[in-house]
Structure 1
Amino acid sequence: MIKSQNYILDFTHVYKDEDIEKIDDINWIDCSDIEGCDLYCSGLAREEIKKRTEKYGIYGIHFIDSGNYHYVTKILTDRIDSKFSLVLYDHHTDMQKPLIEGMTSCGDWAAQVIMENKNLVQLILVGAANEDISQIDVTNKEKLVTFSVEELRNGTGKEKLEDIITDVPFYISIDKDILDRRYIETNWSQGHMPLGMLDHLLEFFLKDKKILGIDICGECQVGLPFPEYIEAEEKNSKTNIQLFEYIKKYRKDL
């Protein structure tokens, strides 16, 4: 069995004000000195992130800071050397057209994965709005399976579960901006999903599918006024720990 390597990528020190250190067996990787990595990731920053995470691999549960760094999922899944599918829980599609050619950003990394990763079988996007999904313009779009926030809210779209190819392993990426503000404060616009619904949606994959790894982003903005920051950190910390424990309930191997 592959040994899991749970870790935190600490770009902003936001986790130091949470209770996440209560999680056992988690490695702390300081990335706060890496330049050229906030929102956009330069080539030098990408290589440095790859270097610092290389010995840990992708197997395990990884906290990767705020949504500004969600492109780390591409860096991690680029390491997968066999067929796999990516499950992306996100209020946004992260498939925008790049503003800066040659650089990966938090807004376009998923488009790069679906267009460039030859091992990707499917990208399963959960939680974006119909309007945003309709604007996705990528090659290999036949690999995309979507469950919009409207379908989730109305209980429709269940027939698309049959479109999910289940004989390959999955990598799961969770942006907590999919959740309602009762559970989380992020630095981007948010959805209105209850945490219990996210747990239920995760169960489909966690219960009996092969999981290669899981990452979680969506921390709050550093630099908020002190009372707001403390309140946000309390909510984020509680949700991070609940997500970690829920995943471990199904997957003690992670």
Structure 2
Amino acid sequence: MTIALTVLDTDATLTSQPAIRDRLAAAQARRIDLLDLGPSLRLWAWESDFDAFRARLPQFRSGMTNVFMAGSGDFHHLTAALVERADRPLTVIHFDNHPDGAWSFPRRHCGSWVNAALALAHVRKMITIGCCSDDLARLGGRTPWMQALQSGRLEVHPWSRPPATLRRGVHRIPGHRTEGRTLHWNSLAGTTWDGFVDDLVRQVAGETLWISIDKDVLGPAEAATNWDQGSMPLAYLEEALAALASDAPIAGVDICGEYTPRRHRHPAKRLEAWIDQPNDAPAGTAINEATNARLLNLLEAIL
């Protein structure tokens, strides 16, 4: 096995899953107990709480691909601290139903971590794949995410999105067609996935990669999450991972997107979750166990 699996136990969703429990029992994975920090980290975190998380992070294991699992997508902003620890220039490949490039307060927010990653000097580029979210309906402003998108340092490849409305000051987005204040996304649905993956592999040739996966990029038949979900088939995600791993060194992988009941203590978090997240729990979370097992088996086979 060439991966070093670390379970960031933020919300108690992972350690009872057979594929993860068995690896922990066999010393093929390590668990970092973050249950006490989980409520303060979930959804967003003050800088002091984020620093407390940083202090608990173990050293990356050398000579192996470090793989992290972090519970709900409400913890996706922890990825910024993981990428920060990497010791070499990176291209980040980001599979997600959401672009995670909002301009938010506090700064450490699961919906804005891409800005924090783009601010790191050793992150050369980020490529976001699979979005269906309405976050891409209106674009504008001089946020770091928008500036990176316009410069080409950030690429966004939606799975399926109708045209977006552009606000003042947005003239073009590389890789997509604009007409006046309308942006026509080049959506992946209906295109040849093999062709897209081949182009992606060629584009990142010679780069060291970090891969970040939020399972809400998948449809409800293959993941159960706290957020609205996309439509990318798991088999497509697996195909992309295998192709990328065959042609480029991968410094790390992080996976989130479990379902955790909303039990926020902070009133602002309760309000935000009520506004932004589906009100009903998914029909069942056992599908996450199957998907996680498939992803871990694949990563162990290809890395």
Normalising to structure 2: TM-score of the pair?
A: 0.72
1:145 maps to amino acid? E
SS in 2 for 1:7: strand
Question: Counterpart in 1 of 2:225?
Answer: 186
Within the candidate set 79, 84, 93, 2:99 is matched to 93
User: Where does 1:217-236 land on structure 2 (aligned, <5 Å)?
Assistant: 217-222=256-261, 232-236=284-288
Question: Counterpart in 1 of 2:270?
Answer: none
Does residue 61 of structure 2 align to residue 67 of structure 1?
Answer: no
Query: Cα deviations across residues 159-215 of structure 1 (Å, max 9, x unaligned)?
Result: 963883321200000000011111110011111222111111222311221000101
Does residue 161 of structure 2 align to residue 148 of structure 1?
Answer: no
User: Where does 1:7-156 land on structure 2 (aligned, <5 Å)?
Assistant: 7-19=6-18, 20-23=20-23, 24=26, 25-34=28-37, 36-56=40-60, 59-98=65-104, 100-101=105-106, 103-114=107-118, 116-129=119-132, 132-133=135-136, 135=139, 137=143, 138=145, 139-141=147-149, 142-150=152-160, 151-155=187-191
2:57 maps to amino acid? T
Any unmatched runs of 5+ in structure 1?
none
Any unmatched runs of 5+ in structure 2?
161-186, 264-280
Identity of aligned residues (%): 24
Counterparts of 1:22 and 1:130 in 2: how far apart (Å)? 35
Counterparts of 2:156 and 2:133 in 1: how far apart (Å)? 9
Cα RMSD (Å): 2.5
SS in 2 for 1:188: coil
Contact 1:8-1:63 at 8 Å conserved across structures? yes
Contact 2:222-2:287 at 8 Å conserved across structures? yes
Q: Cα–Cα, structure 1 residues 144 and 104, in superposed 2: closer, same or farther, change >3 Å?
A: same
Counterparts of 1:74 and 1:67 in 2: how far apart (Å)? 13
Query: Cα deviations across residues 198-246 of structure 1 (Å, max 9, x unaligned)?
Result: 111222311221000101000012369xxx78x6332111110110101
Normalising to structure 1: TM-score of the pair?
A: 0.85
Contact 2:205-2:247 at 8 Å conserved across structures? no
Counterparts of 1:163 and 1:5 in 2: how far apart (Å)? 27
Counterparts of 1:67 and 1:223 in 2: how far apart (Å)? 12
Counterparts of 1:223 and 1:109 in 2: how far apart (Å)? 21
Query: Cα deviations across residues 95-119 of structure 1 (Å, max 9, x unaligned)?
Result: 0121x15x310000112222x1111
